[in-house]
Amino acid sequence: MNNIEKLQKLMQKSDIADCALITSDINRRYFTGMKSSAGTLLVMKNAAYLIIDFRYIERARATVKSCEVILQKELHEQINAIFISENVRTCAVESDCITLGQFGSLKNKLGCTLLADGKLSKAINSLRAVKTPEEISKIKQAQKIAEAGFEHILNFIKVGRTEKEIQLELDYFMLKNSAEALSFDTIALTGSSTSMPHGVPGERRVQSGDFVLLDFGAVYDGYHSDMTRTVAVGQTSDKMKDVYDIVLSAQKAALKEARAGISGVQLDKAARDVIAQNGYSDYFGHSLGHGVGLEIHEAPTASQRSKDILESGMVVTVEPGIYIAGEFGVRIEDFVVIGENGCDNLTKAPKELIVL
Ligand SMILES: [Mn+2]
């Protein structure tokens, strides 16, 4: 079953709408398999159309087989004509992605009842959360690039290098080694800056006795990877080593629990309990993990407030951390594919403390 057929199946058994109007770049790519910066996908219970402009039409006709491809002329007239021929009375939009301006304009121009109740976005997010084997193999490829980058950067990090130099070297390496893009702005932090979970690399130079925290990923054919490692340069304090070991045990505890049927809350708790037992509960102020796929952050969520239950085929990060303001921080992040009886860890890089 292709992704459009999966959505159609959901539309047939629930009350999403007669038609799903998909305009976001990511979701359009998910359903058609083709990257573009414009285009409108209409999915009905038993039919689907991609209306796309001249810039993309040749490639769309050659590659998109899951729906009928139509050259865009007068978009709204074309949509309305399809609505009449397919007997569409209600049309759902992606409430997660569409702007109020776009919604207002569609409401004026389309001859049907527009729905922005969140049901369509919820359905799409739940489909995207469970990866196919093809998607997993792209994610694995993205992770391979990131791990080659990690190996490379370990030889580059030394006393005197700035955070920015480390960031740029890692980015350049991944892009040169077939990353389509970076998963996000690479985080490369040193010394006391590592206490800021999403700090921005600056001019600080590596000093002996520092932790260096690297959070980064590569994109391959649309799919992202995400990993974090904290490494030491020179002699570290006992406290740094202790904290590193606590984060590592917390991460391992969560990895042991990761399997289909466990909730996002339980997965988070497995790591959070270890950190709390060691007296650092106030120093782990973010959630344990998130889904990864066509976007760097997508469903499901593993956090204290998560409503998600993990399913086979979901890809989720496991990234506990301890951050002591003014001193240092440690985060260790792997990401895994959830299976029925456990998980397949996609991150192969070593996790025992590396001292450079
Ligand atoms: Mn992450």
The tens digit of pLDDT for each residue in 148-178 reads 999 999 999 999 999 999 999 999 999 999 9
Task: Tell how far the Cα of 288 is from the centroid of ligand 1, in angstroms.
Answer: 9
CA 228 vs CA 172, 217, 240, 261, 308: distances in Å: 18, 9, 17, 26, 23
Assigned domain for 353 exists: no
N- to C-terminal Cα distance for the chain? 49
Task: Tell how far the Cα of 345 is from the centroid of ligand 1, in angstroms.
Answer: 14
Task: Tell how far the Cα of 118 is from the centroid of ligand 1, in angstroms.
Answer: 25
Task: Tell how far the Cα of 185 is from the centroid of ligand 1, in angstroms.
Answer: 12
Q: Are residues 68 and 184 in the same domain?
A: no
Mean pLDDT of 231-253: 97
Task: Tell how far the Cα of 284 is from the centroid of ligand 1, in angstroms.
Answer: 14
Assigned domain for 354 exists: no
Task: Tell how far the Cα of 182 is from the centroid of ligand 1, in angstroms.
Answer: 13
Q: Are residues 204 and 96 in the same domain?
A: no
265-300: pLDDT as tens digits = 999 999 999 999 999 999 999 999 999 999 999 999
Task: Tell how far the Cα of 2 is from the centroid of ligand 1, in angstroms.
Answer: 28
Given this model, what pLDDT does residue 184 score? Answer: 98
Task: Tell how far the Cα of 4 is from the centroid of ligand 1, in angstroms.
Answer: 28
Structure confidence at residue 64 as a pLDDT band (50, 70, 90)? very high
Alpha-carbon dihedral angle through residues 204, 207, 210, 213, given to the nearest 10 degrees: 40
Assigned domain for 60 exists: yes
Q: Are residues 175 and 293 in the same domain?
A: yes
Task: Tell how far the Cα of 298 is from the centroid of ligand 1, in angstroms.
Answer: 10
Count of alpha carbons within 13 Å of 144, Cβ hemisphere only?
Answer: 9
Burial of 321 per CB tally in 10 Å (0-12, 13-18, 19+): buried
Q: What is the DSSP letter of 25?
A: H
Q: Are residues 169 and 311 in the same domain?
A: yes
Distance CA 186, CA 63 (A): 33
Assigned domain for 207 exists: yes
Distance CA 145, CA 179 (A): 7
Given this model, what pLDDT does residue 355 score? Answer: 96
Q: Are residues 148 and 291 in the same domain?
A: yes
Assigned domain for 309 exists: yes
Assigned domain for 108 exists: yes
Mean pLDDT of 61-76: 97
Round the average pLDDT of the chain to a whole number and report it: 97
Of 14, 57, 15, nearest in space to 34 by CA:
57
Task: Tell how far the Cα of 352 is from the centroid of ligand 1, in angstroms.
Answer: 19
Give the predicted TM-score (pTM) of the model: 0.93
23: its two tokens: 């305009």
Residue type, position 181, single letter: A
Please state the separation of Cα 89 from the chain's center in Å. Answer: 34
Mean pLDDT of 180-207: 96
Mean pLDDT of 16-30: 97
Among residues 129, 155, 190, the one where a domain terminates is 129
Domain span at residue 14 reads 3-129
Task: Tell how far the Cα of 289 is from the centroid of ligand 1, in angstroms.
Answer: 6
Task: Tell how far the Cα of 216 is from the centroid of ligand 1, in angstroms.
Answer: 8
Task: Tell how far the Cα of 355 is from the centroid of ligand 1, in angstroms.
Answer: 23
Distance CA 123, CA 7 (A): 8
Assigned domain for 97 exists: yes
Among residues 102, 129, 156, the one where a domain terminates is 129
Q: What is the DSSP letter of 16?
A: S
Q: Are residues 339 and 235 in the same domain?
A: yes
CA 231 vs CA 50, 234, 235, 240, 330: distances in Å: 48, 10, 11, 11, 9
Task: Tell how far the Cα of 285 is from the centroid of ligand 1, in angstroms.
Answer: 14
Q: Are residues 63 and 103 in the same domain?
A: yes
Assigned domain for 147 exists: yes
Among residues 104, 129, 154, the one where a domain terminates is 129
